[in-house]
Structure 1
Amino acid sequence: MPPMTTREKPGQMPFEKMHGLGNDFVVLDARGRDLALTDSLVRAIADRHRGVGFDQLAVISKGAHDAHLTFYNSDGSTSAACGNATRCIARKIMDETGLKSLRLTTDRGTLLARDAGDGLTSVNMGQPQLDWQEIPLAEPLDTLELPIEGAPVATGMGNPHCTFFVEDAESVDLAAFGAAHEHHPLYPERTNVQVASLIAPDHIRMRVWERGVGITLASGSSSCATAVAAARRGLTGRNVRIDLDGGTLQVRWAEDGVWMTGPTAHVFSGSFTKAFLEDAQ
């Protein structure tokens, strides 16, 4: 394990703050220590006024391959997939080890990551889930056109997604629209919600509402789901640029899965104090 950049005192918990296109994460490294995480502690860390704040919290632990990743939303719920956090942690591990490719295990399965050059990191998010039971939906339906106003596409990327193709993604009141559809009865586990506009056959503008979080500047799994939905609808090919509020990702739906490529950033390292951890429990 690499040396901490801040001095760790007994009872404290070190962390790192990272982001991918403004989709921000608190990362806890449990490869060399035991972490006792509770729902209340996750929510306390997520508080942007009294904690640190994040869209997702990611825990790195020892796995069958290079590492295992576990993800938490800011409301304390868990998620099997988080594409941008996976890219951030892949970059961290590649910088630590000098490796150019990794195998990371998640509740989604084993994901491949690689150095894409020019400071970019790619992660294969696996094959999309297109069957209603896998996403999951509440009943058998055609996932290419759900019986919801706007006829969205349902896709699973280890977490559920609902993608609306609209004329102008900028004009949608995403706060109201996302909140209303996250809890749609067709999605028993709630859903991430995307609104997307076609710019060109290889270019999409997308905004995202993440379940358990709200509006985020970017989302890797949502970008993958939107690319898959657009290709299935015949709106694009299988290699698209997706412009999000926080920047741009390149997504390619290949034979071996959905590859997502983009930049990452390590913002700072720190430690939660013993007093904060005790109060949060």
Structure 2
Amino acid sequence: YGPLLENHPLFPNRINVQFARVLSDRDAQILIWERGAGYTLASGSSSCAASCILVKRGLINGDLTMHMKGGTLKIQIDKNWNIRMTGEVREIARGVLGSELLEDLNKPFEDTSFVN
């Protein structure tokens, strides 16, 4: 259902989609479909967002483990909705950046309108 929801006319800019399932009062599982990327093995921001919804709806405790195909994350949500995410880091790919991209990354930002 990820591609159908991502490209639905209600979302002209497309959306990310997460499907969550509660496994216990401290464990949940999500499947992730990212806009423009497709099925994704793991996502920290998706884990945090899905965890907040599950806690807000009273379906799970605010101190939980989120399980994904690519691994697990520990998510802690306090009474003020501050979120702490802890998890393993591991290399999943290697690549080489093209020279044009490296040049662009070394240029100063011309548009600073986003800076306060």
Q: TM-score, normalised on structure 2?
A: 0.73
Q: Which of 19, 22, 26 pairs up with 1:198?
A: 22
Q: Which of 83, 99, 106 pairs up with 1:258?
A: 83
Aligned to 2:107: none
Give the deviation of 1:178 after TM superposition. 0.3
Cα distance in structure 1, aligned partners of 2:22 and 2:66: 10
Residues 1:271 and 1:245: Cα distance change in structure 2 (over 3 Å): closer
Structure 1 residues not aligned, in runs of 5+ = 1-176
Deviations 1:201-222 (A, max 9, x none): 1100111001121001001111
Structure 2 residues not aligned, in runs of 5+ = 102-116
Give the deviation of 1:267 after TM superposition. 6.0
Aligned residues: 100
Q: How does 1:27-42 map to 2 (within 5 A)?
A: none
Cα distance in structure 2, aligned partners of 1:237 and 1:223: 14
Q: How does 1:204-219 map to 2 (within 5 A)?
A: 204-219=28-43
Residues 1:183 and 1:257: Cα distance change in structure 2 (over 3 Å): farther
Q: How does 1:100-249 map to 2 (within 5 A)?
A: 177-249=1-73
Q: How does 1:14-33 map to 2 (within 5 A)?
A: none
Identify which of structures 1 and 2 has the higher relative contact order when contacts are C-alpha pairs closer than 8 Å and 6+ apart: 1
Deviations 1:157-214 (A, max 9, x none): xxxxxxxxxxxxxxxxxxxx00011133444432211111111011001110011210
**Could you say which structure has the higher strand fraction?**
1
Cα distance in structure 2, aligned partners of 1:212 and 1:221: 16
Cα distance in structure 2, aligned partners of 1:236 and 1:208: 19
Higher mean C-alpha deviation, range 228-237 or range 254-263: 254-263
Identity over aligned residues, as a percent? 37
RMSD across aligned positions (CA): 2.4
Which residue identity is paired with 1:213? A
Q: TM-score, normalised on structure 1?
A: 0.32
